[in-house]
A and B are shown apart, each in its own frame.
Chain A
């Protein structure tokens, strides 16, 4: 089961876009929280060639996603419709993916 866990600072509410050892803004303690798992595609690439172990997953859609929490992360999309991605596409966390990291899918039309 995919879940998107981010870190938020207990002192100043800074949200980290990838794992940090401590808060970059106030040096406070970061705590894990479950993110909403929804956001919008800022930009993307579609990867057709990469190292052999990823060949079953090509083409891989790699996207920068601005999450509802206000931070930008990089992730990949799954789903047969993933090549329909565009700048501005709404995305949501996918229930399952092939990566050990959380992956996204295009949000169903009208589900917003």
Chain B
């Protein structure tokens, strides 16, 4: 049975809104990713795409556009979980022998107004039932998680803000990040309020960009000669709490326990974690859900733990969406790109020394009162 290996990664140059269109960004990320591996579109036999702004184009028309002949394809409709879902399923397809060289790409381009329009109509339940309330987009839907966490566990903004401050340090070592100046905890705390308890720097900045990773069969990887990254185990869960709104978890505990059992690893074995970061509280909830700290303890964990690339748990080592920018569905792939880069030891000044393995998560499709999709994967450098 072929073993799937992540072998390359690529990004387009991020831009603020009103820049280039979606297709040029997708092309640049694909070109960067394939070029790093010395491959061309004709070598690709599997393609996964996630994009909100590329429709009416889809994964097959993208293949048509780039003359790719496909044996497997997937349109990812899992919001911020689409990237991890794509890589997990691509790895399975390679194990099954259905495809051998699968490109996973995600990205979007927004203009002024188009991002808010997307959010208002993001899902049928949102547009029908929350739209008339002026619900504030994803900010308004997810801010209540933090309100409730604070009420139950005393979690404070100055605890969660430390994560944003640290991620900004990482971003300043990432040339593709749109935020390149330091963020102090005071600036985080005093920024203008958006959707209480979220202030400006709790929220991602929508932007334009794309990200890609390449998963290939091990014999192809050997011929390319780049360090291989194993997709050790991946799990996904959708609509984890049917009909319930005030559950904190999107299934993180369940898929986390399965991942640790399947890999024989524990949270403490991870050299880094790339946790989906639309808001710091969502990272905090995942720290709890995946077992890096106890239930209700993410505030004190972030207060006490050095989560920089030189600390105890390097977290969102490229700056994450919070400091690079959220390129729509590209935000679902950015943590995978960073993880592969780290495990191939190509992250330059922000390299986590000797990184051998890490956890990467996705979360998204914000709908009626919660995000619906979640996924996580454990990646490991082949020579470890």
Contact = CB atoms under 8 A, between A and B. Distances in A.
B139 A87 contact: no
Nearest to A77: B133
Contacts of B242: 24
Contacts of A76: 133-135
B246 A74 contact: no
B195 A72 contact: no
Contacts, number: 118
Contacts of B129: 18-19, 74, 101
B296 interface: no
A46 B195 contact: yes
B101 to A, nearest CB: 41
A50 B137 contact: yes
Interface residues of A, number: 37
Interface stretch (A3-11, A30-38, A57-65): A57-65
B194 A71 contact: no
A60 B245 contact: no
A109 interface: no
B128 interface: yes
Tier of interface size on chain B: 35 or more
Nearest to B145: A43
B128 to A, nearest CB: 7
Interface in A38-71: 42-51, 54, 57-60, 62-64, 66, 71
A87 B125 contact: no
Nearest to B125: A18
Interface string B194-230: 1111100000000000000000000000000000000
Given A24-B242, A42-B245, A48 B132 contact: no
Contacts of A80: none
B75 to A, nearest CB: 24
A49 B119 CA distance: 14
Contact of B135 (A18, A43, A62): A62
B193 interface: yes
A2 interface: no
B72 interface: no
Interface string B317-351: 00000000000000000000000000000000000
B295 interface: no
B140 interface: yes
A74 B133 contact: yes
Interface in B106-140: 116, 120, 125, 128-130, 132-137, 139-140
A56 B129 CA distance: 20
Nearest to A46: B196
A51 B120 contact: yes
A72 B133 contact: no
The winner among B125, B128, B136, B246 for most chain A CB atoms within 10 A is B136
B41 interface: no
A51 B140 contact: no
A17 B135 contact: no
The winner among A48, A86, A100 for most chain B CB atoms within 10 A is A48
A19 to B, nearest CB: 7
B244 interface: yes
Contacts of B198: 45
B132 A64 contact: no
B144 A44 contact: yes
30 contacts: A16-B243, A17-B245, A44-B147, A45-B143, A45-B147, A45-B197, A46-B195, A46-B196, A47-B135, A48-B196, A50-B134, A51-B134, A54-B134, A59-B196, A60-B140, A62-B133, A62-B135, A62-B141, A62-B144, A63-B144, A64-B245, A64-B369, A72-B243, A74-B129, A74-B133, A75-B133, A88-B151, A99-B132, A99-B133, A101-B133
